[in-house]
Amino acid sequence: MQKCDFLIIGAGIAGASAGYFLSPHGRTIILEREDVPGYHTTGRSAAFYAETYGNAIIQRLTTASKKFFFHPPEGFSSVPLVSGRGALYVLSTGQEDLWKSTLADMQARVPAVYAMTADEVLACVPSLRRERIIGGIMDPDCQDIDVHAVHQGYLSGLRQQGGRVVTSADVRGLHQLDDSWVVKTAAGDFYAKNIINAAGAWGDEIAQKAGVEPLGLLPKRRTIIVCPVSGGMVNRDMPLTLNIPETLYFKPEGEGLLVSPADESPSAPCDAQPEEFDVALTVDRLQQSTAYEVDQVTRKWAGLRTFLTDRTPVAGYDAAASGFFWCVGQGGYGIQTSPAIGMFVAGLITEGKVPDYLAAHGITAETLSPGRFV
């Protein structure tokens, strides 16, 4: 039986960031059911960093992660983690009041955000159809995230601190032994005082195997395509373009566009695949909203974004199971919040409190506590 101080289930972005920040404090092992880490949601993300994205708590976690992304620890990555993109939120006829309220909310978080007239929106993204556009909101601080560099940086840092990632380690059972946990997997048995459940869409299944009450996680499938387009120019510097409410977004990718209908189709935990209907819907929404024409889809994929009912992550010990720590429900914000959530997890487990840096951003233990669902 292999022993460690911190045993993390799941090597996606949540487990990797938790492992990175825990590893300086004790022997850390991450168990991954797949052959490679990050196969599911993390490896399928169209990640961007936007402090204006998500609910108020997501925005606080994102802002708290900014320093890490823009100034990562020395040796974390050989390439920049973020690169400039900008995000343009487009509003249509009938959304005048929403335009004003959304602008005020965004400027309270990111002062650099500014309003754009319809003409300015079209000058920025000329291929948008003019008919119903009343204006827009520009977040100039939005960044593309190099997901691979971030994820590998966490895992490399974990290993440098003596931690391990064990792949093909599907969890078959968990039980408590004295004040610790025994986890039986396809790759052997493991023993640890602290279990961190970072299993994403499978988080409730892991809890049930441990005899812990599930939280009611809600995996939702999101579709993404990459396609060359005609009928309009694709400027490499074009911002991420989203409508409000979010039913379409697109940004430059290679020689074409990366496009999503921002769908959230309920799903069981699985190896998500794009449905042909959703791919067709993506193409249709792009062509209805812009002058672009799609002749072929060169790549398509789907991933599961797993939420709680309040669309806020959970990170904290289960009140009824000593040593069982939840780290799930990051939804579609797991990459951009991963530094803050990793710090949060390590602070609660090793010091019994939220790090002062995060507390200064208005993040408390209660903010992410699983106790809010009891």
Q: What would the pLDDT profile of 31-78 be if each residue is shown by its tens digit?
A: 999 988 877 656 567 789 999 999 999 999 999 999 999 999 999 999
Q: First and final CA of the chain: distance in angstroms?
A: 34
Torsion region of 218: left, alpha or beta (phi above 0 gives left; psi -120 to 50 gives alpha): beta
Task: Write out the residue range of the structural domain in which residue 65 sits.
Answer: 2-69+146-215+310-373
Whether residue 246 is found in the same domain as residue 301: yes
Give the total number of structural domains in the chain.
Answer: 2
Domain CATH number, residue 25: 3.50.50.60
Domain CATH number, residue 103: 3.30.9.10
Q: Is position 334 within any domain?
A: yes
- Pick from 307, 329, 363: which residue ends a domain? 307
Q: Provide the whole-model pTM.
A: 0.95
Q: Is position 111 within any domain?
A: yes
Q: 234 φ, ψ to 5°?
A: -105, 105
Whether residue 207 is found in the same domain as residue 226: no
Whether residue 299 is found in the same domain as residue 328: no
Q: Is position 302 within any domain?
A: yes
Whether residue 139 is found in the same domain as residue 151: no
Helices (H) and strands (E) in the chain, counts: 9, 22
Say whether the peptide bond before residue 245 is cis (omega within 30 degrees of 0). Answer: yes
- Pick from 281, 307, 333: which residue ends a domain? 307
Does residue 71 contact residue 81 with C-beta atoms inside 8 Å? no
CA–CA distance, 344 with 353 (Å, rounded to integer): 8
Per-residue pLDDT of the chain (374 residues; tens, 9 = 90+): 899 999 999 999 999 999 999 999 999 999 999 988 877 656 567 789 999 999 999 999 999 999 999 999 999 999 999 999 999 999 999 999 999 999 999 999 999 999 999 999 999 999 999 998 999 999 999 999 999 999 999 999 999 999 999 999 999 999 999 999 999 999 999 999 999 999 999 999 999 999 999 999 999 999 999 999 998 888 889 999 999 989 999 999 988 999 999 999 999 999 999 999 999 999 999 999 999 999 899 999 999 999 999 999 999 999 999 999 999 999 999 999 999 999 999 999 999 999 999 999 999 999 999 999 87
DSSP class per residue in 316-370? EE-TTSTTEEEEE--TT-TTTTHHHHHHHHHHHHHHSS--HHHHTTT--TTTT-G
Whether residue 243 is found in the same domain as residue 337: no
